[in-house]
A and B are shown apart, each in its own frame.
Chain A
Amino acid sequence: MTKLPHARWLLPLSLVAVPAFHAAYATQYMSVAEAQHAAFADASEFRALPAIGAATANALGAPGWSPQLFEARRADQRLGWLLVDRVIGKAELITYALALDATGAVKSLEILDYRETHGGEVRLAAWRRQFVGKTAQAPVQLNQDIKNISGATLSSRHVTEGVHRLLQLYELTLRAAG
């Protein structure tokens, strides 16, 4: 196997702003069912709990908020809860699952789905068109799909805030229901 070079930089050749072909980045990491089984491998049942009421959502300072709530069970035993929530960042929509054990302690936190709500700055299709034809000596095999993005760091602050709200919800309703 030949040693791969570190990298090849593909730089835009002009400063012309490229219109259209916004490629929004989106990835699904896990389905809700996968998250359930990942967090509670022993569970035999995931009982969907009723949506939280308007009064509870308002009490937590989040009118209209409606996370999906599941109770993980094995026979007569409660193993914990899986709470699926969505948060909106500056330009992204994130679905995540928080697993709590039977005592309400955090077991795991997984991102289920990451989606950009607008096109961001990746204008690949258009810029590749610009690139094509200018690399005759060094033809470039470009992957069709971009799996990786490097750039300004995204903050996970909204997810952290969401987790705090779910833990308050646990204190307010789930713990009492036990």
Chain B
Amino acid sequence: MSAAHDVRRAQAWLGTFVEIRVGGLPPLAAIAAIEAAFVEVAAVHALMSFHETGSDLSRLHRMAAGVPVQVDPRTYDVLVAALRFADESGGCFDPTIAARLVAWDLLPRPIGATLLDPQANWRDVELLDGAHVRFHRQVWLDLGGIAKGYAVDRALEVLRARGATAACVNAGGDLRRFGEAAESVALRHGSANRCALPEIELGNAAVASSVVTAHGERGDQCVHSVHVNARSGRSMRARRAVSVVADTCMTADALTKVMLADVRVGGRLLRRHGASACLSDGARGWRLFGHG
């Protein structure tokens, strides 16, 4: 992408900054394409927000278990993928961990949500025909581990459909791009690692990163990470950082969570999805996993 012809814009969505960059289009067409892509990002934000009362998730959370609820086809797409990753990872990736995050004050309690069944998990979410969803037991869904990647993928498709020859959508570090030449992506994992950091030459692919950071500190109580090992129910140990390269940003996004939870399971899923990852465990430095 030649810098002279790139148009870039950034807006705040999905709790972070989304940057969209386009090449190969005249300026006005580039701006129109970027605006259309932001409309798609905004739609994913509105549909899959855990916080906003009008979202599909909030509607699901207000319904009693056993009642089928119709959701937007995009929400349905993400749920299909989320349950597939949950199944493939044996629950290392679990879109129903929201209850634990609420208990630790990392997410607000959904307004008007029906009472939660403490035994419920992702297996209690059933996907029916016609974009209907039914909970067998009451769960709270949090698509934060995957929806951002999906929004990136959707936005990139909009740009491609509008004739961009090169484009990049970066939602707070979860990014996907296409273009003739590969581009450098610097990986930066906060203070998790003070040493030299990796970089990627990224072709037509996506990269997503996750870092285990301690949040929700409350006085002398224990500090929980927003990353929860779904199988043990405990927050993950700090100082682990991972980046995953995959075909789609949704896959990359989801696989970062699996890699943080369990490197062995993560490695298996990386191979299945033709993905690769680099992980830092603090003192042990960077290790590569998976294909490529």
Contact = CB atoms under 8 A, between A and B. Distances in A.
B183 A5 contact: no
B216 interface: no
Contact of A11 (B19, B31, B174, B278): B278
Interface string A95-128: 0100000000000011100100000111110110
A151 interface: yes
Interface in A51-81: none
Interface residues of A, number: 50
A45 B173 CA distance: 38
A153 to B, nearest CB: 4
Contacts of B187: 149-151
B191 A150 contact: no
Contact of A150 (B9, B11, B175): B175
Interface string A121-151: 1111011001000000000101101111111
A46 B194 CA distance: 47
A151 B190 contact: yes
Contacts of B67: none
Contacts of A1: 180
Interface in B219-247: 241, 243, 245-247
B292 A111 contact: no
Interface in B132-188: 168, 170, 172-175, 177, 180, 182-188
Find the residue from A12, A123, A127, A142 having the highest chain B CB count within 10 A. A12
A122 B173 contact: no
A31 B120 CA distance: 50
B165 to A, nearest CB: 11
A169 to B, nearest CB: 18
Interface string A23-44: 0000101100000001000000
Interface string B241-260: 10101110000000000000
A7 B201 contact: yes
Contacts of B182: 4-5, 7-8
Contacts, number: 190
Contacts of B174: 150, 153
Contacts of A15: 195-196, 283, 285
B194 A150 contact: no
Nearest to B208: A150
Contact of B184 (A11, A120, A142, A151): A142
B213 interface: yes
Contacts of A152: 173, 188-190, 192, 209, 211, 213, 241
A109 B11 contact: yes
A1 B31 CA distance: 28
Contact of B196 (A12, A96, A111): A12
B54 interface: no
Nearest to A111: B10
Nearest to B244: A150
A149 B285 contact: no
Interface of B: 1, 3, 8-13, 15-17, 19, 21, 31, 168, 170, 172-175, 177, 180, 182-205, 207-209, 211, 213, 241, 243, 245-247, 274, 276, 278, 283, 285-286, 288, 292
